[in-house]
Structure 1
Amino acid sequence: MSDLKRKFYYTFHSGKNPKFIYYLVNFVRQAVPKPLLNAMLDHELRKLDSRPDKEYILSRVDYYCRLTAETPYDREAFLKASTELRHTKKTGASVYYYDALEFSRWFNQSLRWILQAGDIDYALPLPSIVKSRLIEGDMTNNVIMKLEKVRHFIFVKDRLKFTDKKDMAIFRGKIGQANSKEMKRNRYDFACKYFGHPMVDVGEIGGVEPKWQVQKMTIPEHLDYKFIMSLEGNDVASNLKWVMSSNSIAISPKLRCETWFMEGKLKPDYHYIGVEEDYSDLIDKMEYYIAHPEKAQEIIDHAHEYIDQFRDREREKLISLLVLKRYLDIMNP
């Protein structure tokens, strides 16, 4: 297939969420008057009391927002760095703005917040709304909301059984320019170690190593493989959600960052296959699960069970509103 045909094919078969639909939905959403949403907010929040999964919902809110009224922070610094909801501007990728706006529109627009766009893998000095944070350490100021979801929240329908897939692992992703701050060292080390290995199909999208360069693969094409490498980039690995919703198995070293997906709750060799930081046990792990497909299926079943908790759209909406309400209540005493 020629490069041009390949690019055309990928455009229409990537398996990713179509960006034009995402922007169309947000355009329509902004047509709903904010005062109307504000008037409906109490009604939406009261739905919590009648839900049988109330305790589960509150546990999710606690997970994303660890702030309390006693959380220490520099009030003057917050007032200087924050903005009223009505004056929130697009910073960084517009998807952060639109995903945050979906829920901030429900609240009094004079309330103040800090919306921190981008890949955040460090503790923030002031309480802020973010997409990601480190799993370990004091991340109280990093309040997670479901941001950049068009890219990160993709679930698939995989009709191919694990036993019918190739006995290989695949990696496709950006590694970044060597010796620059954009380089993802963990991915570079992996490519160096396993490029050309008969059980690992390694390819880089962009970058500076000509021998690694490949064209993009669609998600369905990835699903021909039993194992899919899910290697963190600037923060989390964006493919982890769709891999866990498939009949393939994600492979990753210890997870470092988390998002709305609560990666900090995932267990190695239960939800995904865990490997050493230097990938030294990768082939041994793969051979074990190839030889024991029933054990592989247990991981797939656990992954699907974990994915299912994010499929209830009404519940996800309620959790998002509750997280933002808690943040705004604490930061606007």
Structure 2
Amino acid sequence: MSAPTVLVTGGAGFIGSHTCVELLEHRYEVVVVDDHSTSSPGALAAVRDLAGRDLAAHRADLRDAAALDRVFTRHRIDAVIHFAARKAVGESTLIPLDYYDINVGGTVALLRAMVAHDVRRLVFSSSCSIYGDGGGRPLTEADPARPTNPYARSKWMCEQIIADAVRRHPELSATALRYFNPAGAHPSGRLGEDPRGPLNNVVPFLMQIAIGRRDRLRVFGGDWPTPDGTAVRDYVHVVEIAEGHRLALDQPPSGPGLRVLNLGTGVGTSVLELVTAFGAACGRDIPYDVVGRRAGDVAELVADPGRVAAEWGWKAGRDVAAMCRDAWRFQRLHPDGYPD
């Protein structure tokens, strides 16, 4: 039998590109759809180089139904991993309609194409931000959804839409993986995080400050109810998140309904702790200023990964220090990002 072919939407992005390497190394065939609005085609060149295998790549917006239909017609797709989305909390409060249009609209268009072409497996890149504030404890899949910003609400809406689609089309099997802060890079330093456009996540800021492309970090809020007053998040190595998505495809179909699983370490790291760890990795102090809280943020968000460990044997083993070392290695080798 031929190897399964997986469509990876947003496959040139940070998590998507690492997942493509993971899939290719485990003998899956890969087709990428990415509009490169926030990613570089250079990431796909790095994927091919690392995996020693080729992949098919199409530049398209998921909301373009005709373009998406051409991709499904050209390739025999067996499963889809859906990353393509806008993903910044602060930005989502400024352009909420764009977030609903891109994140929700893209998901609806993708589901329509899957049904039309009889593709029955979906792994959805979701977010622990759906839970809202953790209240000082790790969150389980049984905790209710309390999203606090348009980004998180768009992910929650997508999960509900997928659940409705699976109920209507019981031949579909869908898994949503909820995680919060992917960080790090491929240990080789050849693949990492190189966002195009405005930076919205803390680790790319730290990388660019360390390499001299930016001057100082803004820390949003120093008065949160946490040990050092800065927000606490569950940082997970991007390579391990990629492994989680591949494992989702390796499992037998989950049956009717949407399966939801957390991917996390279960350990919270504050912004200041992350700054210290990155400074140790790059060998220099990271200058920062504490400013006001950012709209839509919460104090603490940490995932309880117990269910995925019990069911799949997945467990995050790389700590924040390793994430910082790998991210710095990529930035040092790519001081200006991927070549155009």
TM-score w.r.t. the length of structure 2 is 0.27
Considering Cα pairs closer than 8 Å and 6+ residues apart, tell me whether 1 or 2 has the greater RCO. Answer: 2
Structure with greater Cα Rg:
1
